[in-house]
Structure 1
Amino acid sequence: MAFSNNITRAMKPFQALPKGLRQRALSLIFGRVVPYVGTSGLLYEEITETRVVVSVKNRRKVQNHIHSVHAAAMALLAETASGFVVGVNLPDDKLPLIKTLKVDYTRRSSGDLRAVATLSQHDINRIRNEPKGEVLVPVVLTDATGEQPVNCEMLWAWTSKKRS
């Protein structure tokens, strides 16, 4: 039996849609769950148990004073992709929490941005089976030139939803 949680069950009805329509529909739904994500116009391009790809267009609502994607929007993009790859693997009785969000800005970005967060099968097994823990989620954020304007490190924890 395949792993199932609130996120995977919410995604299931949209799997038969064409890719572009599915991406927009899921982005709209998840943007309502996390309003800041919706306001920023993030697009969920790919969601699997091992990889989540999220992008943002370089539009006015996410720009800084030099017309590139704002530093906070870059951090949001990386945090969203990494949190989602953890969340898609997390049992319903667990809560994901960001512990460390490290973003080193190395160069000016150009155009739209894309974040790819991945998990190993070992980390997925830990998230699904350990009552609590933490995992460092690799995230690669690239711009329209294919370069990485930032280096990211996202440390996520999970714990029981019920307080002891």
Structure 2
Amino acid sequence: MSNKSALLKTWQKFKSLPCGNWLFSKAVCFKAPYFGSMKPYILDLKEGHCSAVVKNRRSVHNHIGTIHAIAQCNLAELCAGVMVDATVPVKTHRWIPKGMTVQYLAKVDTDVTAIAEIDLPHVWVDKEDLIVPVKLYNTRNELVFTADITMYITEKK
């Protein structure tokens, strides 16, 4: 039996289908419904990497017509969580978000793309705080937001 996560296996099946990224994104939001409010679209997923986009539309706006700070946080957490789930050895370890430090660098007035990446290979230990850096870019490829999301990794009992 493979040590790949069910999420990564599902991604690998869906990505080659017509509308596969859209279907996979919907499935992620079905599993974690809160993320559905921003209608994220997962662009790419592999061990150590996830990228996703949120469209610039009124439902994610703040009072000044730009993408709300918390929508940016939600997108960062989605990317980090999906990436970690696809990366942590499913047979031996589990994870949960523990904290997040963010920096808002500019107003987000376009669609926004998030990228969560960690260096691999990684030695997985018990009771580890894994810091996952996430960067958000506007459509002009300007860095508009950064987050360091702490994922608490533990061995399964």
Tell whether the structures are fold-level matches, with TM greater than 0.5: yes
Note the C-alpha offset of 1:32: 0.3
Corresponding residue SS for 2:73: helix
For structure 2, the residue ranges without an aligned partner over 5 or more in a row are none
Q: Is the Cα–Cα contact under 8 Å of residues 112 and 138 in structure 2 kept in the other structure?
A: yes
2 CA distance for matches of 1:152 and 1:11?
Answer: 24
CA distance in 1, matches of 2:5, 2:77: 20
Give the total of aligned pairs: 156
Identity %: 27
What's the RMSD between the two structures over aligned residues?
Answer: 2.0
Alignment partner of 1:8 is 2:3: no
Give the structure-2-normalised TM-score: 0.88
- Matched with 2:100 is 101
- 1:48 aligned to which of 46, 51, 58: 46
TM-score, with length taken from structure 1: 0.85
- Distance in 1 (CA, whole Å) between partners of 2:12 and 2:106 is 39
Shift of 1:151: 2.4
Q: Distance in 2 between matches of 1:3 and 1:15?
A: 20
Aligned to 2:74: 76
2 CA distance for matches of 1:15 and 1:114? 18
- The change in CA–CA distance for 1:107 and 1:22 in structure 2 (over 3 A counts) is same
Query: Residue type of the partner of 1:121?
Result: L
Which structure has more helix as a fraction of its residues?
1
Q: Distance in 2 between matches of 1:120 and 1:108?
A: 29
SS, match of residue 77 in structure 2: helix
Q: CA deviation at 1:107?
A: 1.8
Q: Which runs of 5+ in 1 are unaligned?
A: none
1:79, CA displacement in angstroms? 1.2
Q: Deviations over 1:105-160 (max 9, x none)?
A: 122112110111111113xx324xx2331211121111122212222211211124
**Is contact 1:110-1:144 (8 Å) kept?**
no
Matches within 5 A, 1:84-123: 84-92=82-90, 94-122=93-121
Residue range with higher mean Cα deviation, 9-18 or 37-46: 9-18
